[in-house]
Amino acid sequence: MIQMKFKHLWVLVFSLLLSLGTAVGQQDNGGIKQDTKDAAHATGRAVKKTGRKIKHGTKKIVNKSARATRKGAEKIEDKTATPPPQ
């Protein structure tokens, strides 16, 4: 009879410990949630910064291409211009 009571007592103690462990684990989700939010905000800032750098680089390339096109057009214009009358 006493062995049966101890068996039930151990089962009760183990189940109580498991339920406490689960409760403590669920309370810690706030930290995980905040870490996830922080990571998402950092990713957003990085994406914006990258976008600005790409925009700046694209403008630079377009402007250099336009200058090179104008320079090439001027060379062609000089070669094809009719010579002044003498």
Radius of gyration of the chain (CA): 37
pLDDT in the model for residue 21: 61
Give SS3 for 84.
coil
pTM: 0.49
Distance CA 70, CA 76 (A): 10
pLDDT in tens, 9-61: 777 777 777 777 655 555 556 688 889 999 999 999 999 999 999 999 999 99
Whether residue 4 has pLDDT greater than 70? no
- Give residue 11's identity as a one-letter amino acid code: V
